[in-house]
Chain A
Amino acid sequence: MIRNITLGQYLPGTSAIHRADPRTKIIMTISFMVVLFIVNSIWALIAALVFVAAVFLISGISFKYAIRGMKPVLYIIIFTTVLNMFFTDGNVLLRLGPARITEEGLILAAVVSLRVFLLIASASIMTYTTTPITLTDGIEKLMGPLKVIKFPVHEMAMMMTIALRFIPTLIDETDKIMKAQAARGADIGTGNLLQRARSFIPVLIPLFVSSFRRADDLAVAMESRCYRGSEGRTSMRILKFKGLDVAILGIFIIICAGILLIHYLI
């Protein structure tokens, strides 16, 4: 039931994308998203689409996974598409009673939906090809410079790791608690909005309490294994920029330049 949530799941593989340093992928994904917001030209976005399709191909990830990522936002896309199609001024193509579809509207709708699709697809390709722990390592390394202003980089990374580790466990526990409460006649998730909110209390309170207890136990266990923060701490996993990363970044810069060029020229 609840277990069917896939959190940008990792799909194992040995492609160049899989092997790239997580920092490379994070930097690329963020930069790419920025580029997507800059460009308004439909041709530039189509070029971007070709690029993303190529990345999927190289990484061996089936395109259907890209489509799957769209499901949550399907309604938003349809809504904005319709909005843009019908309410943009310009060269009228079709008239349906009082409503009208314009050429500009059609293009705008295409631009907006394509942009949303590409944003999601690029984030997905990053999570599909990088394990959560590797991603966390990458984020921790990238945030490294922030240590200068005393930002708790290590602590944040540790928190993310622990959260990732416990999400499946907490999901299982929620299931258990819901079953136990249902067994004594609780109606969880039914009724009007207020009733439904209240009906979750018998599940949330035990969950919170047990989570605090977990945190307490875990802290003691960590201290038993000599954890004392980042002081003197090393890591089994070392991130190193390889030739592969330089090559990938190089190609990426060229492609982005190309996309931006198309945007400014066409």
Chain B
Amino acid sequence: MAVSNRAGRDLMIEIKKAEYIYDNHDFPVKAVDDVSLEINTGEFIAVLGRNGSGKSTLARLMNALIIPDSGKVIVLGKDSSEAENVWEIRKNVGMIFQNPDNQIVGTTVIEDVAFGPENLGVEPVEIKKRALKALDMIGIEELRERAPHLLSGGQKQKVAIAGVLAMKPSCIILDESTSMLDPVGRREVLETIRKLNKIENMTIIHITHHMDEACLADRVVVVDEGKIMIQGSPREVFSDVMLIESLGLDVPQVTRLLFNLKKEGLVDDSAVIDIDEAVGKLRALIG
């Protein structure tokens, strides 16, 4: 499914035939295999894939943490393989990681949020302003003097997001950032990034293996064995239930239900991704 080709400046990230090989243990592994992908400014993209599918590697190519072995990754017009572009790219594309603890450096929340701007050489007074603004945007201003080990998982991830926001990025990548959280934490983080996307027009790339989270995105990109298998709107992608399940992933329970009913010949079309849609479809059929 082709994504419309916009003018250069609307392109946040452009990945052109990128490849990345891990040279480990007994044999080299192509973690990213000839991948081409365009991410437009303001999009909310979900990258879905099972463990080992290459989705995290793809994420790290996008903020120049790693450079492709062949092909190119262009971020806001800058080639990630050129050394002088690395810091500019990382400033513009922030990343939130999986382990909430292992990305917090400061002994208090506000100190950690200040870490990014400090690295950028921002003026001390401006740093404090940015830190407080970021905390306020995320809604955790009252936690600013709290020590990180006293925070819940969801709160820690929110601190990490604030820390990235203080650097004034154009895009935020979340690399399985909800995997280690309980349902409350997951909801908090998802609500936060959804708001950032809708209100601040922040480009969001959400890497996950949870399909209910992917349903919130504008576009879902499914990867497996380093390749893009299918991409499109959540509804388009999840209606191919057989493919999704063959890739080791799940579809929402309601999608599965309608798919099964479709197999029995009782419904024509099983493209639903949430309860509202399922209720609508079934009511129309039952009468």
Contacts and interface: CB of A to CB of B under 8 A. Distances in A.
Interface of A: 131-133, 161-162, 164-165, 168-169, 172, 213-214, 217-218, 220-228, 232-238
B29 interface: no
Nearest to A163: B107
Nearest to A218: B102
B97 interface: yes
Given A168-B149, A236-B118, A226 B127 contact: no
Nearest to B93: A224
Nearest to B115: A225
> Which 3 A-B pairs rank lowest in CB-CB distance, beginning with the nearest?
A221-B103, A217-B102, A168-B149
Given A218-B103, A234-B127, A225 B167 contact: yes
B78 interface: no
Contacts of B226: none
A87 to B, nearest CB: 47
Contact of A223 (B90, B106, B122, B124): B90
B152 interface: no
Contact of A133 (B94, B104, B107, B124): B107
Dominant secondary structure at the A interface: helix
B220 interface: no
B35 to A, nearest CB: 21
B108 interface: yes
A124 to B, nearest CB: 20
A133 B123 CA distance: 20
A161 B114 CA distance: 14
A225 B161 CA distance: 11
Contact of A233 (B105, B121, B148): B121
Nearest to B116: A225
A225 B127 contact: no
Interface of B is mostly: helix
A226 B95 CA distance: 11
B163 interface: yes
Q: Among A213, A226, A235, which residue has the most Cβ atoms of chain B within 10 A?
A: A226
Interface residues of B, number: 39
Given A237-B111, A237-B124, 17 more contacts: A133-B106, A133-B107, A161-B105, A161-B107, A165-B104, A169-B148, A214-B102, A218-B103, A221-B102, A222-B105, A225-B94, A226-B90, A226-B120, A234-B118, A234-B127, A236-B118, A236-B127
Contacts of A226: 87, 90-91, 116, 119-120, 167
B111 A236 contact: yes
A234 B104 contact: no
A258 to B, nearest CB: 38
B65 A236 contact: no
10 contacts: A220-B97, A222-B105, A225-B94, A225-B116, A233-B118, A234-B118, A235-B118, A235-B127, A236-B114, A236-B117
Given A223-B65, A225-B164, A169 B101 contact: yes
B235 interface: no
A88 to B, nearest CB: 47
Given A169-B101, A234-B122, A228 B111 contact: no
Contacts of B164: 225
A235 B124 contact: yes
Nearest to A235: B118
Contact of B119 (A169, A218, A233): A233
Nearest to A225: B116
Contacts of A232: 121
A234 B90 contact: no
Given A133-B108, A165-B105, A165-B107, A227 B99 contact: no
B45 interface: no
